[in-house]
Structure 1
Amino acid sequence: HTFSALAKSDAQLARFANSPYTKPASPERTAAAKAGLENNGFKVYVVKGRGQAFETLTSLFLAGASVSKILSEKDPVKHSLLRRTIGTSPDYYLTSMAAVGEDGKLAHADFSGFKVGGVAFGAANVIVVAGSNKIVKNESEARKRTHEFVYEGESARTRDVFK
């Protein structure tokens, strides 16, 4: 679910609908974050829109790579089992971040903790997809965005998934 879709259906999240954290970053901030990430050894692709993002993303996977559909499993017990058994050891791990710093640092947080393990310990290749709305100046702003905004979205997603 997108944040905007959740905000329409979750009364607790609706108050964030016009948050600055939902707005795209300027081209200058995007360029700064790209440069910061590249300085820290990341390969960065800046794309325009979902279609181009999907094309770029699929071009990164090697032919024959398997794709897990863990997120489509709605049964909480089965979902958890899949996360533990295959969720942290794939060839490719696709995720997002809570914030992307102009200084090239990434901030990662989620309520379940499953996403963090795949980034830190599991996959041979980690691919991060993040909208420019996640760009912040530095670690301090990343913490602020995470605590004031991201946790609220994660809470809404949890309420939605485990209804």
Structure 2
Amino acid sequence: MTTTDPSKRFTTLPDDATLSATVVALEEHGFSVEVVDDLDAARKAVLARIPYGSSVMTNTSMTLTDTGIEDAVNGDGPYESARRKMLELDFQTQAQEMKVISGQSDYALGSVHAITRDGTLVIASASGSQLAAYAWGAANVIFVAGAQKLVPTLETARERVYQHSLKLEDVRAQAVYGQHSSVGKILEIHQELPGRIHVVLIRQVVGY
């Protein structure tokens, strides 16, 4: 009897045929797609799509951190950082204002936890704080994801969330927040009006 190591199962890059088929499926569901070779190219691709002066919300994502996109947006650059603006407020007394700022930016940036072969994006969250922007609130959404996140089916996507992504996020949450993480909500985006959601796929293992 043989078993599959979950870490290898969910961190293996797809072959070119699988990648190409997934790109086609995503485009058929209204997403625009760009495939790049490395982290530097991913950062350049994302920033090239955002007009100077736009309000941009960077949602928590190891991929945004590793590509340098988070720093490029929230530093002293040409963008209006929704995250910096939001963090200037007090959560206890201004939570609703924070939700408006984070949920209705010109551009919402983040990643996904899985992309199915037939073109569905799957994003898990403990609180759901970023999901409203992805689903409806933000005028534009850009997802950046390592190609290892491609999976054959929705069932496999959910397995990836619980067996791989959650375990790694739980370690990060304990280190950063001093508490465990959880999967409180899962968003599945099956279809989108063309032009709103752009997906940048990186031919490297990045994020989880």
TM-score bracket, shorter-length normalisation: 0.7 to 0.9
Pair 1:96–1:106, CA change in 2 (3 A): same
Q: 2:42 aligns with which of 39, 50, 53?
A: 53
Given the alignment of the two structures, is residue 155 of structure 1 paired with residue 170 of structure 2, yes or no?
yes
| Contact 2:22 2:117 (C-alpha < 8 Å) held by counterparts | yes
Gaps in structure 1 of 5+ consecutive residues = 1-14
For residues 7-45 of structure 1, give each alpha carbon's deviation from its aligned partner in whole angstroms, at most 9, with x where no partner exists.
xxxxxxxx96x4321222222221111111001011100
Moved more, 60-69 or 87-96: 60-69
Q: Distance in 2 between matches of 1:38 and 1:63?
A: 27
Residue 83 of structure 1 deviates from its aligned partner by: 4.9
Q: Distance in 1 between matches of 2:174 and 2:128?
A: 16
For residues 49-69 of structure 1, give each alpha carbon's deviation from its aligned partner in whole angstroms, at most 9, with x where no partner exists.
001101100011012212334
* Coordinate RMSD, CA, aligned: 2.6
SS at match of 1:30: helix
| Contact 1:110 1:151 (C-alpha < 8 Å) held by counterparts | no
Higher strand proportion: 2
Q: State the AA in 1 paired with 2:153.
A: N
Aligned residue pair count? 145
Q: Distance in 1 between matches of 2:137 and 2:30?
A: 19
Higher helix proportion: 1
Aligned to 2:121: 106
Q: Which structure 1 residue ranges, 4+ long, deviate > 3 Å from structure 2?
A: 80-83
Gaps in structure 2 of 5+ consecutive residues = 55-79, 179-208
Paired-residue identity, %: 29
Alignment TM-score, normalising by the size of structure 2: 0.62
Aligned to 1:43: 32
SS at match of 1:46: strand
Given the alignment of the two structures, is residue 67 of structure 1 paired with residue 56 of structure 2, yes or no?
no
Residue 97 of structure 1 deviates from its aligned partner by: 0.8
